[in-house]
Amino acid sequence: MKLMFPKSSLVGSMLTVFVLSVIFAGSVSAQSKKAVAAKKAQVHAKDARKERDRERRVAKDNKANTKQTAKKDPKKAAESKRVAAERHRKEEERRQAIIAEQRRREQAAREARARKLAFERGLRNETITNISRDVTDGEDLNVRAAAVNALGQHAGSIVVMEAQTGRVLTIVNQDWAVRSTIRPCSTIKLVTGVAGLNEGVISKENGSVRNIATRRSLDDAVAFSDNTYFQRVGSQLGNAKLVAYGRQLGLGEPTGLNMPGEAPGRLPVSNNNARIYSHGDDTEVSTMQLAVMVSAITNGGHRVLPRIPRNEMDKAKFQPFYRANVELPQQNVRRMIPGMMGAAEYGTAHRNMDQSFGVAGKTGSCIDKGSWVGLFASVAPIEKPKYAVAVITRGQGERGKYAAAVAAQVYRALGQQIVRTDRNLAQTEFHLKSRTNVDAQTAAKLAEGEGDDADESKADMAGTAVNSPNVIIVPSAPRQAAPTKKLVTKTGSSKPIFPPVVITYDRDGKEKQSGPVIKPE
């Protein structure tokens, strides 16, 4: 029997049937997978519902058991409640204690700020009151106005005096400048330096310390107020030498100013702590004493007798008097001058300082009588000092650099009367080379201050020491093994063992000296 369709048609039909069967099988497979997934999801949901139901039953049973237990054992239930209540009470106490401590600290901080502000206001108000009570007869009122303006909002005192004659041009805040004393801080390094030079502990040639290595020589140690340098000098001097040289420079006794109530100050008798040579521990000075001391160092060793010309005759015929002379070789005393010039040129006193006036001085910064103290004792022009300007400021923000800035403003006001002669005094007198091209590495080393004034020079050292003219540099000392002995310990207080000599004036204005006045301890 013949086939009704051709062979090719039969093959095509079979292929079509096969493809349709594959598609149908795939569709059935996909549907079955979906059905399985849906069934699994239903099972999972059912299991989840069962788990939730079980948890609810357990919680319900626990609650029921708790109630039943409470009914059966009320003591345990009460104890449980008591324990829970005690726990909550302790937690609340801790929380309240934390809050109370935080409030206490905040209140203490507020009170401390209030006390600080009150103390600062008290110092400033006392300064204003004292200035209003100053006796200005005989003063140069123009110089006084300039000094008062320079002091500004600082609490402190200023003395402006003729360095060669001792004529006092003005004393701003006379109570603080004459009748009160305070710690000299780093200005005591001038005494330590003079003593070290005269005793041969410091080399006059290169500024090194005998038998001890120091990273600075004398000039930079003065300029940057290097505590370690002067402590090492003092360790070879001893207390008695410091006290003796301090007296020669006018410390520890009244200057002889013709003003009542002058305070003598004190020197660190019997105190062997190394800080007496660098920080001025156990020592007190007045602003007037600083002016006399720095004049004696720079004017040829004459310790002037400061006086205020009280009438026109005194002004017209003013004659200089010397309380005493510094009985030391002048090259030893004046060897301190390059470092004092360096302080104003590139060191701790250089801020706002116009060194065209030839200023030489020493700063000081430390804490005394409840606040920071800033000091600056200086003369200008250094070739032949005409003016001595001493400034002491008090307050939490005060430092020697700010006292120096006050003095700088006074010098600017006096600028027309300051005439320079030999601007290369340090080079010609001491045969020292000027610092003209200091590399950055050297400047960075110099900026690493150790003194209590060191922070004043660190920030601005780069850019001020480099390429600054007429500044002295001294070769470093040969390096040797540094001593291991601890130099600084806690200091105590001491009283002078020698009574002061009091100088008074009779009605005719003649000077008379009384004998030693011995006061009971």
What pLDDT, on a 0 to 100 scale, did the predictor assign at position 311? 80
What pLDDT, on a 0 to 100 scale, did the predictor assign at position 69? 61
Are residues 149 and 122 both part of a single domain?
Answer: no
- Which among 482, 446, 483 has a CA at the least distance from the CA of 463? 446
Query: Against a cut of 0.75, is the pTM above it?
Result: no
Flag whether pLDDT at 70 surpasses 70: no
Are residues 127 and 270 both part of a single domain?
Answer: no
Distance CA(59)–CA(63), nearest Å, equals 6
Structural domain includes residue 119? yes
Q: Give per-residue pLDDT as tens, 404-437.
A: 999 999 999 999 999 887 666 656 666 555 454 4
What pLDDT, on a 0 to 100 scale, did the predictor assign at position 495? 45
Mean pLDDT, rounded, for 193-203: 95
Helical H runs in 335-451? 337-345, 400-413, 425-430, 440-447
Q: How many domains does one find in the chain?
A: 3
- CA dihedral (416, 422, 426, 432) in degrees, to 10, reads 140
Are residues 178 and 41 both part of a single domain?
Answer: no
Residue 351: burial class (beta carbons within 10 Å; 0-12, 13-18, 19+): middle
Are residues 385 and 490 both part of a single domain?
Answer: yes
When the pLDDT of each residue in the chain is averaged and rounded to a whole number, the result is 80
Distance CA(109)–CA(129), nearest Å, equals 30
Please say which residue of 114, 133, 152 terminates a domain.
Answer: 133
Q: How confident is the model at residue 188 (pLDDT cuts 50, 70, 90)?
A: very high
Are residues 250 and 117 both part of a single domain?
Answer: no
Distance CA(285)–CA(91), nearest Å, equals 59
Distance CA(300)–CA(91), nearest Å, equals 78
Structural domain includes residue 410? yes
Are residues 193 and 283 both part of a single domain?
Answer: yes
What pLDDT, on a 0 to 100 scale, did the predictor assign at position 458? 41
Flag whether pLDDT at 351 surpasses 60: yes
What pLDDT, on a 0 to 100 scale, did the predictor assign at position 452? 52
- Which among 371, 368, 370, 365 has a CA at the least distance from the CA of 402? 365
* CA 356 to each of CA 299, 386, 404: distance values in angstroms, whole numbers, following the listed order: 19, 14, 15
What pLDDT, on a 0 to 100 scale, did the predictor assign at position 456? 41
Structural domain includes residue 162? yes
Please say which residue of 133, 162, 180 terminates a domain.
Answer: 133
The larger pLDDT score, comparing residue 334 to residue 388, is at 388
Are residues 216 and 147 both part of a single domain?
Answer: yes
| 176-190, 313-327, 486-500, range with the lowest pLDDT | 486-500
Residue 43: burial class (beta carbons within 10 Å; 0-12, 13-18, 19+): exposed
Structural domain includes residue 149? yes
Residue 511 gets which letter from DSSP?
E
What pLDDT, on a 0 to 100 scale, did the predictor assign at position 444? 46
What pLDDT, on a 0 to 100 scale, did the predictor assign at position 179? 97
Flag whether pLDDT at 204 surpasses 80: yes
Flag whether pLDDT at 505 surpasses 70: no
- Name the percent of the chain lying above pLDDT 70: 72
How many separate helices (H) and strands (E) can be counted in the chain? 16, 9
Mean pLDDT, rounded, for 268-279: 94
Distance CA(114)–CA(112), nearest Å, equals 5
Mean pLDDT, rounded, for 394-403: 94
What pLDDT, on a 0 to 100 scale, did the predictor assign at position 87? 86
What pLDDT, on a 0 to 100 scale, did the predictor assign at position 446? 43
- Which among 225, 221, 220, 219 has a CA at the least distance from the CA of 185? 225
Q: How confident is the model at residue 460 (pLDDT cuts 50, 70, 90)?
A: very low
Structural domain includes residue 457? yes
Are residues 120 and 188 both part of a single domain?
Answer: no
User: Which two three-digit tokens encode residue 16?
Assistant: 């079509």
Q: Give per-residue pLDDT as tens, 90-115.
A: 888 899 999 999 999 998 988 888 88
Give residue for tokens 């594959």.
Answer: 22
What pLDDT, on a 0 to 100 scale, did the predictor assign at position 501? 42
Strand partners for 338: none
Mean pLDDT, rounded, for 174-186: 97
Enclosing domain of residue 434: 137-513
Q: Is the CB of residue 375 less than 8 Å from the CB of residue 464? A: no
User: Which two three-digit tokens encode residue 499?
Assistant: 């009574």
Distance CA(325)–CA(344), nearest Å, equals 26
Mean pLDDT, rounded, for 57-75: 70
What pLDDT, on a 0 to 100 scale, did the predictor assign at position 140? 94
Are residues 124 and 235 both part of a single domain?
Answer: no
Structural domain includes residue 9? no
Q: How confident is the model at residue 457 (pLDDT cuts 50, 70, 90)?
A: very low
Are residues 142 and 122 both part of a single domain?
Answer: no
Residue 375, C-beta contacts closer than 8 angstroms, at least 6 positions apart: 184, 185, 186, 187, 290, 363, 364, 365, 390, 391, 392, 393, 400, 403
Please say which residue of 81, 103, 133 terminates a domain.
Answer: 133
CATH of the domain at 474: 3.40.710.10
Structural domain includes residue 63? no
Structural domain includes residue 331? yes
- CA dihedral (421, 423, 426, 429) in degrees, to 10, reads -40
Are residues 417 and 503 both part of a single domain?
Answer: yes
What pLDDT, on a 0 to 100 scale, did the predictor assign at position 46? 82
What pLDDT, on a 0 to 100 scale, did the predictor assign at position 156? 97
Flag whether pLDDT at 445 surpasses 50: no
Q: Which of 68-77, 274-283, 456-465 has the highest mean pLDDT?
A: 274-283
The larger pLDDT score, comparing residue 221 to residue 419, is at 221
Helical H runs in 134-217? 141-151, 174-178, 189-198
> Assign residue 207 a region: left if phi > 0, alpha if psi is -120 to 50, beta otherwise?
left
What pLDDT, on a 0 to 100 scale, did the predictor assign at position 514? 42
User: Which two three-digit tokens encode residue 58?
Assistant: 């357990």
Mean pLDDT, rounded, for 269-291: 96
Are residues 192 and 85 both part of a single domain?
Answer: no
What pLDDT, on a 0 to 100 scale, did the predictor assign at position 220? 94
What pLDDT, on a 0 to 100 scale, did the predictor assign at position 19? 62
Q: How confident is the model at residue 30 (pLDDT cuts 50, 70, 90)?
A: low
What pLDDT, on a 0 to 100 scale, did the predictor assign at position 7? 53
Angle at CA of residue 96, ends 92 and 101, nearest 5°: 150
